[in-house]
Each structure stands twice: as C-alpha cells, then as structure tokens.
Chain A
Amino acid sequence: MSVFDGLRFRKVHSPIHNLDPRIKFVYVIAIFVAAIIFYQIIPLLILFLIQIPFVLLARVQRQWLRSLRGAAFLATFIFVVNVATTFFTSGYHFTAPNIENAAAMTMRFVVLVESFSVFFLTTSPDHLGLALEESRVPYEFAFAFTTAVRFVPVLAEEAQTIMDAQKARGLELEKGGILKRIRNYVPVLIPLIVSAIRRSLELAEAMESRAWGATKKRTNLYALKLHKGDYALVAIIVGILIATVYIRLYVPIPTIASFF
C-alpha cells in the first residue's frame, strides 16, 4: 500500500496549489532551460535556492525532501562518474575545478528534480486533467488519465485483499530466490487483472448510462482562469529567463575555487 501513498492526492489550498497548472508547467520548462544553459556551480545553486520559497509557500517541504532523498542515489552516481572521468582523463589527480564541475553537474540534476517535484506535488491530478483538456488534448486521453489516478488506491486495496486471501490459502510470497519470488506473484496478478477487466466493463456501462459521447461539444464544470498569482508567476518566469540570458552573455561567472 505504501508504494501507492505518494500517488494519492489530497485537495490542498495554497497560493502555489491554486496556480494555473499550465503556467506552472511553463515555469518548469523555464527552470529546465536555465539549468541547461549554466554549467557553473554558483548560478545552479542560485536556481536551487530560489525554488525553496515555492516549496515553503505550498507547505510541501516534507514530501519535497522525500523526493530529493529519492534522487540522492542518482545524484551521487552522477557526481562519482563525473569525478572519475575527469580523474582518469586529466592524468590521475583530483583538482578543485574538476570536483567543482562534477558538483555543478550534480546540482543541475538536483535542480531539475526539484522543479518537477514542485510541479507534481502542487498540481492535483484533477487540475492536470483539466489542463490537458484545455490544451486541446482529446478528452478521451484526459479522462483516461484522471480515471487511472482515481482507481490507483482502489486497485491497491484490491491487490492487498487478494494477497491476504492467497496467503491465507498458504501462498508464500517472500520465499525462494528472485525468480521464484516473481513467480509467487502470479496467483496475485491473475485475479487482479481479471477483476480489473470486470471493473472496466462496469465502468463502461456506467459511462454509457451517463451520456458518454452524446455530443462533440463537451462542456466542463471547472474552468481554468488566470488569477493575480498566475501573472506574478509569469513575471517571475520572464525575469528568470531574461536574467539567465543576460548573465550567460555578459557577466563572467566566478567559480568557487577562484575565491581562494
């Protein structure tokens, strides 16, 4: 069950949660672009730091830290590989600029993870579906997306019930080598899939009974509207982009090593 906990979304109201998901997505792209443009540690650190107010405003710091912790392994890997390659290519010794460079590459990755996690932690699937719809993605896809999110906890619960039932009949899930363990899950998966198919038929029936496909011009209960906060975010995005381009072109960026 715990695996699926992260996918469950509770409706939270915060200045960040209430932002238009489309603008937030543009923000992710802007951070992405800025992180790609810079390869020095100091601007990347700044990019990392300026996102922290968003996290605090949205009050998602705990989940955010968890997602960073999840990325720690990959970040370490990136750092080690970078240090190692420069170590071997620069004649077998560590130099401060090399290590700083490796740290910058790692920081770039962390900044990307950070901005994506801010986006996904503060955008409800409902909002995301709505954004998909309003971006002229065919309604069927948006619907499939929100429905999938809706049924994740239901299927997780069902998987648990089936596992309990099979264990009660003597199935040992945690026994044997890795291949044996995978095979142990077959008696769980088959009933789960069969019941998911049955469920989907019932779902189709219910959709049909509620006028699915009655008209091409579907309306929507909710509408995405731009508020003050969204315009503020647009301003921030434009600011970041202008600053990025300006600094990259005209400002010499110092390295940390040069301070010593």
Chain B
Amino acid sequence: MAIIETKNLTYTYPGATKPSIVDVSIKVEKGEFVLITGPSGCGKTTLCRTFNGLVPHFYQGELKGEITVAGIDTLKHHTYEMAKHVGLVFQNPENQLFALSIEKDVAFGLENVGVPREEMRRKVDWALNQTGIYDIRERSPHEISGGQQQRVAIASVLAMEPEVIVLDEPTSFLDPLSAEKIFEVIYKLNKEQGITVILVEHRLDLTAKYSNHLIVMDHGAVRLEGDPRKILASEETRLIGVGIPKATLLYQMLKKEGLNLGDQTPLSSEELADQLLEALKPRD
C-alpha cells in the first residue's frame, strides 16, 4: 500500500486568487527516497505542508481532492495527530528550535504526546545518536552551527519515530559541506531505518544519487514524475528550469557528440567517473 497518496489535490491559500497546487495526484511507496524539485514558487512547500495537515488546518484556505498519509485522511485529523506519523523539517533551522538545550528540543514532541520519562530518554538518546549530535546535547541552539541546528531539527522529528520524514529545502541556509552531511544523515535513515523520505531540494548535484523517485513541479502542478535517471535526461526537465546534475549534463553532451558511455544516465560525479574510466580503459 502506498504510504502517501493524493488524488486531484488542489489548494488555494486564503485570500489568494490562484491555487498554489493544482490537481496533484502522486503516489509514494513505503521506504522510497523521493526528491521534489522545481522552480521557486512552484508549490513544493505547499505540497509538503499538506502531508502533515498544516495545510489546511493551520493555514485555512480551501483544499479539494483526496489525501491519505500513513493510512490517515489528513483532512479529518489534526496536525498533532499526524506528528506521530509524519515529521516535517523546515527550511530555517533557527525558527524550529525553541528550547534552551538541544536534548530538550529533541524531546519536545515526545513531551507533547505525553511519553513517560524513561522511554523518552531512550528515544531522545537514540535520535541524538542517529544524527551524530549526542556530544553536544547540553549546548544551547544558539551556540551551534547552522548544520548542527538542522541536524537537531531532524533529530527532533526522528525522536517521534515517524514513518515519513518530509524535509523542505533543509540545506538552503547551509554551506555545501554541511549540506552534504545532512543528506548523508537523511540517506542513512532511509536505508537503515526504512523511513520514507520526501526531500524538497534544488541541489540535485548532491541529492539525485540518493533518490529513487523524482517529482518535478511547475506552476503548482506535477509535470514529471518517476525514475530520476529518465526524468533528468529529458529535454523537458531542462526547460522547466531544474538544476540538472553536472554529471548528467556532461553525459548527455558527450552522447550528442556520439560518445556513448553506457545505457545508464549517471546522477553523480562518481558514477560518471566510473563510466569514463570504463570507456577509457585500454582494450586488447
């Protein structure tokens, strides 16, 4: 069964004349690493907020269509009920941490649902270890770097043991190295814990290699959906304005010039490097 399924989802913010997402029908299977991309203002953020019911419960406005997440109809259930199933990590790490110590922040969700203290301690420590911030658990959020703050944000949704983690451009405030570390943490959670990941991101150079499901949005609608290798190789994707990985672009340029490096479109520099080495190997 699909863990997230939407049918003809259309949503208009209160007071807006145009809908922000239009007729979105997607299906996400359990354990997938989904990448959502598209130009700014294409409705990615709004779509993310429908997954845990912030849209429409927090924002009001008009939501048409059907949506079920982890078997729950988000239209009929409040965001705090969804919080146990869907963790949402926001763009600005600073505005999602409100406690005076990191471990207290990680515990926030568990405190809210009333988990007993010993169990809470165990889950908090587990989440801190998973994201590699156990050693700084007593520091205050203001004292740590943006990358660490974002890892705290991930740990704090992870502690709730959700089935799905949705990350809305989690690295746009970070430098490339911190960003890469964040992606590695997310990938590990996806691989080892089997958590379904939905990642909204512009930096496909760094993330495409992790994903096995790509959704390209434009003007509120889903334009392309499916296997990242196929979609990133298509001309349409480029025209929408998606930041196609350099390795993929180079592969296509070479292909156009008649140099075929293999059937599989590379998504990362490593993959392309392997293909090139294979092609350049002296044959006897």
Contacts and interface: CB of A to CB of B under 8 A. Distances in A.
Interface string B83-122: 1100110101011111111011001111111111100110
Contact of A223 (B81, B90, B107, B117): B117
A175 interface: no
B52 A211 contact: no
B112 A208 contact: no
A183 to B, nearest CB: 30
Contacts of A206: 88, 90, 95-96, 98
B124 interface: yes
B258 to A, nearest CB: 51
A218 B113 CA distance: 6
Contacts of A2: none
A210 B80 CA distance: 7
Nearest to B159: A210
B101 A11 contact: yes
A223 B141 CA distance: 21
B265 interface: no
Contacts of B111: 218-221
A239 B139 CA distance: 37
Interface band, chain A? 35 or more
B160 interface: yes
Interface string B142-169: 1000000000000011001000000000
A74 B114 CA distance: 48
Given A202-B90, A205-B54, A211-B83, A218 B112 contact: yes
Main secondary structure of the interface of B (DSSP, over half): helix
Contacts, number: 112
Given A150-B141, A153-B142, A210-B160, A219 B110 contact: yes
Contact of A208 (B54, B98, B141): B54
B100 A209 contact: no
A154 B88 contact: no
B278 interface: no
Contact of B98 (A125, A203, A211, A214): A203
A157 B194 CA distance: 40
A85 interface: no
Contacts of A177: none
B120 A219 contact: yes
A215 interface: yes
A210 B114 contact: no
Contacts of A204: 58
A214 B142 contact: no
A214 B54 contact: no
Contacts of B87: 209
Given A146-B99, A206-B90, A215-B113, A221 B54 contact: no
* A209, A212, A214 pick with most chain B CB within 10 angstroms: A209
Contact of B117 (A205, A210, A220): A220
Given A208-B54, A208-B58, A209-B54, A221 B114 contact: no
A210 B127 CA distance: 15
B190 interface: no
B138 interface: yes
A126 B101 CA distance: 8
B79 interface: yes
Contacts of B142: 8, 150, 153-154
A206 to B, nearest CB: 4
A220 B124 CA distance: 12
B45 to A, nearest CB: 11
